Amino acid sequence: MSVYAIRHGETEWSLSGQHTGTTDIPLTDNGRALAEKLRPVLGKPDFKLVLVSPMRRARDTCEIAGLAGRAEVDPDLMEWNYGAYEGITSAEIHKTRPGWQVFRDGGGPGGESPDAVAARADRVIARARAVKGDVALFAHGHILRVVAARWIGLPAQAGENFLLGTGTLCILGDYRGTPAIDVWNGPLA
């Protein structure tokens, strides 16, 4: 069994570095092109389960990649709730909160804690591991970084070590029965 973790394509806010948790914004033209590059790769596995965040950017990526007809919306794949830090960049946050880091400190006031995000990631992982066959997850950068950390038994805070570009493919699997990361930030060309 392999879990294909796919980050949505580029958006205007991913380009500008603005934290995009609950704001539902569309893909850019380049984001749509990135999603199209996923189609031939994701057309090969026989996915037994396809889960997608309810956010438009993830659902559109799933649709363009050819798996929307089989997808089930899973709210646990929502991006981190950044609270008061929604829509602003890390540089702007650091002006009033130097050294802030989402994986350690959580979202801003009214936002989600790392433990809350880890609990959501653990539920997604449990669903994936219950399936006999390949699984596809369409979601967002920070939640997928936590999913990767939790997949290999690390705390949510370890997500800071897994950089993840837009429109990229990652594969979570195992090495002789031990959870492992087979592909991370996989190029599609």
Give catalytic residue positions: 8, 79
Q: Which residues pair with 49 in a beta bridge?
A: 135
Maximum Cα–Cα distance across the chain: 48
CA angle 60, 39, 29 (to 5 degrees): 45
d(CA 173, CA 171): 6
Here the tokens at position 186 are 């996989």
The Cβ of residue 45 has, within 10 Å, a number of other Cβ atoms equal to 15
Residues 6+ apart with CB under 8 A from 87: 13, 18, 19, 20, 23
Give how far Cα 49 sits from Cα of 31, 112, 134, 175, Å: 24, 27, 7, 22
Secondary structure element (H or E) that encloses residue 180, with its range: strand 178-186
d(CA 21, CA 88): 11
